[in-house]
Chains A and B, each alone.
Chain A
């Protein structure tokens, strides 16, 4: 029982790290463009397909496929931002919400049309290595995913905190007009934001595809969950989002394992309700935008 518990905790942490990648991208887009991008789940799905096809057609190793998917999705996301989202920056939230729903519907069904609904698995070739520690098992694949996602999150945190572009992004998130007055090219920042978010989503999609399956409908439930994470963690707070992501991963993994699997999708909502009742200021406190 104790080992099962810790096994579920480990799985929950891995899941949480992947959720963190998606939620951080979502939170970036929200903070900088003030857009709720419901098509983010489709970025994740398309990224997973890019990795899947790079492995099956180009015969590249898992890591290279991950990089290809991230690069490819960064370009696609930047193009989508330019064509679709830029005209509606600053419009009421319901417009951006419905626009991204439209985009999400179109992309998911396009993928369904071309790739069909049957689930496929990304073969990383790392699953054959197994590590055991005190009766806990972890495959090489899951270990790689854990390490990679932590690395990516740290890289993002460093980028936003210390680079010139990262500082410019934070400035735009704080005050768009003032940032423009200070000479920041906000259009460039918008494109970069989407590119980074797209790349992170693609990385998450590839990892989930290796752990579970890739199919055209994988995006939508993930995007709702990621929004809950962003709300729990507080908009624009990297640390809060990471904590919330791991919390949701744990709740899902433990709740699904020990309480009831059927009600798995309801747990994030219950968590959200509890938060509103007991800690309305957000998980990590401070001002909520």
Chain B
């Protein structure tokens, strides 16, 4: 009960800090890291819907991220559509793709599923690299426009500076959090958790496990696609190297790092693992060696992630 009592002031304080943050860290470098943390927060949240709640591992989520980015960028570059339209089309496209792929591969389990999705990711990068008339191949797409100004509630909103992107991204993260929160509390959310805990049992009590898995996969892919669209219109340049399997792995590491099956863990993981590697830049060529070794030790010592381990110790202390 104590925790509920504290929730309101805690949330208010968090909101205030998030609102005031760009005032203190007004350098472009910091703001860029904040915006990237927001994008990763969305990516990791949507992946955690699949991995954390439904227990299905995907190693191909960078493909949906890339699809969202490419569809949105191409529509606005080639057809001059506004970001506010292409953003949703990008997400929808990725979601539909996820639905089709999910129908095909989600009858597989565990490692087999992970590796099949990984190969789907490879397939998408191969297409991005080689379908040159449309994707411009390894050269990528340049000249992606920023979101056009819109009028909302009598206010003219233009997204120009990084601070604007920061607030827009914040809105995006909150929206995704709300969607996931609603899913978690719905019947299908319960069905997803049942699938994670024991698929056979879930099936035996009449849960359509395939349907819940495909639902989780499609929503997860769709949200990932939205993040891709946001990324494309923030960086203003995209190329296939951003959407390789190492990005999929990176997202999974963030999911694990924060701790799965909560909504706070993934956000924590996304922020930590966007900020921490910035310190590793000093290590130069050995950066990825340190990253790899750190990952190995992390998995051995904190298999439940930072937030999961913290909660475990807190719970142990209360008893």
Contacts and interface: CB of A to CB of B under 8 A. Distances in A.
Contacts of B118: 224, 227
Contact of A101 (B115, B122, B127, B249): B249
A104 B295 CA distance: 11
Contacts of A266: 122-123, 126-127
A240 to B, nearest CB: 14
Contact of B299 (A102, A106, A113, A224): A102
A265 B126 contact: yes
B39 interface: no
Contacts of A231: 112, 115-116
B242 to A, nearest CB: 17
A110 interface: yes
Contacts of B130: 262-263
B269 to A, nearest CB: 12
B115 A105 contact: no
Given A266-B126, A276-B108, A97 B292 contact: no
State the main secondary structure of chain B at its contact with A. helix
A262 B137 CA distance: 12
Nearest to A265: B126
A228 B115 contact: yes
Interface in A248-289: 262-263, 265-266, 268-270, 272-273, 276-277, 280, 288
B295 A93 contact: no
Given A97-B57, A228-B115, A266-B126, A102 B104 contact: no
Interface stretch (A47-55, A84-92, A191-199): A84-92
A109 B111 contact: no
B51 A94 contact: yes
| Nearest 4 Cβ contacts at the A-B interface | A106-B292, A102-B295, A105-B292, A269-B119
Interface of A: 30, 36, 84, 87-88, 91-95, 97-99, 101-110, 112-113, 224, 227-228, 231, 262-263, 265-266, 268-270, 272-273, 276-277, 280, 288
18 contacts: A36-B115, A94-B51, A95-B256, A97-B114, A97-B252, A98-B256, A101-B249, A105-B289, A106-B295, A113-B285, A224-B115, A227-B115, A228-B115, A263-B130, A269-B119, A269-B120, A272-B116, A277-B104
